[in-house]
Amino acid sequence: MSERAYLDAASAESLHPAAREILLSALDSGWADPARLHHEGRNARLLLDNARAVLADALGVRPDEVYLTSSGTAAIHSGLPAVAAARRRVGSTIVHSAVEHSAVLHAAAATGTAAEVGVDSLGRIDQDAFSAQVTQPGVALAAIQAANHEVGTRQPIAWAAEICAQAGVPLFVDAAASIGRDAVPGGWSVLAASAHKWGGPAGVGLLAVRKGTRLSPAWPVDEREDGLSPGHPNVPAALAAAAALQARLQEAEALDKQHRAWIDELRRRVAADIADVEVVGDPDDRLPHVLTFSCLYVDGEALVTALDAEGFSVSSGSACTASTLRPSHVLAAMGVLTHGNVRVSLGRTTTYEEIDRFAQVLPGLVRRIRAEVGM
Please report how close the Cβ of residue 144 comes to other proteins at its closest, in angstroms.
22
CA-nearest of 194, 345, 355, 370 to 281 is 345
Please report how close the Cβ of residue 332 comes to other proteins at its closest, in angstroms.
5
Distance separating alpha carbons of residues 64 and 77, to the nearest angstrom: 20
The answer to whether 104 touches 83, Cβ cutoff 8 Å, is no
Q: Which is nearer to other proteins, 24 or 275 (CB)?
A: 275
Q: Which is nearer to other proteins, 51 or 319 (CB)?
A: 319
The answer to whether 48 touches 210, Cβ cutoff 8 Å, is no
**Considering the rule CB under 8 A, would residue 273 count as an interface residue with other proteins?**
no
> Where does 118-189 show beta strands of DSSP type E?
139-145, 171-174
**Considering the rule CB under 8 A, would residue 373 count as an interface residue with other proteins?**
yes
Considering only residues 296, 356, 361, 363, which one is a binding residue for other proteins as defined by CB under 8 A?
296
CA-nearest of 299, 334, 341, 297 to 317 is 341
Distance separating alpha carbons of residues 34 and 46, to the nearest angstrom: 8
Contact region for other proteins (CB under 8 A) — 123-131, 145-153, 304-312, 333-341?
Answer: 333-341
Considering only residues 340, 342, 344, 354, which one is a binding residue for other proteins as defined by CB under 8 A?
340
Give the 3-state secondary structure of residue 184.
Answer: coil
Contact region for other proteins (CB under 8 A) — 72-80, 236-244, 261-269, 327-335?
Answer: 327-335
Please report how close the Cβ of residue 121 comes to other proteins at its closest, in angstroms.
9
**Considering the rule CB under 8 A, would residue 330 count as an interface residue with other proteins?**
no
**Considering the rule CB under 8 A, would residue 1 count as an interface residue with other proteins?**
no
Question: What are the catalytic residues?
Answer: 320
**Considering the rule CB under 8 A, would residue 337 count as an interface residue with other proteins?**
yes
Q: What is the DSSP string of 115-130?
A: EEE-B-TTS-B-HHHH
Please report how close the Cβ of residue 369 comes to other proteins at its closest, in angstroms.
10
Contact region for other proteins (CB under 8 A) — 73-81, 137-145, 186-194, 331-339?
Answer: 331-339
Q: Which is nearer to other proteins, 120 or 278 (CB)?
A: 278
Contact region for other proteins (CB under 8 A) — 49-57, 179-187, 312-320, 356-364?
Answer: 312-320
- Enumerate the β-bridge partners of residue 144: 173
Considering only residues 7, 228, 298, 342, which one is a binding residue for other proteins as defined by CB under 8 A?
298
Distance separating alpha carbons of residues 166 and 83, to the nearest angstrom: 18
The answer to whether 281 touches 153, Cβ cutoff 8 Å, is yes
**Considering the rule CB under 8 A, would residue 292 count as an interface residue with other proteins?**
no
**Considering the rule CB under 8 A, would residue 325 count as an interface residue with other proteins?**
yes
- For the stretch 253-274, what's the b/e string if a residue is b when 16 or more beta carbons lie within 10 angstroms of its beta carbon? eebbebbbebbeebbebbeeeb
Distance separating alpha carbons of residues 319 and 79, to the nearest angstrom: 30
Residues lying near other proteins in the complex (CB under 8 A)? 276, 278, 294, 296-299, 318-322, 325-327, 331-332, 335-340, 373-375
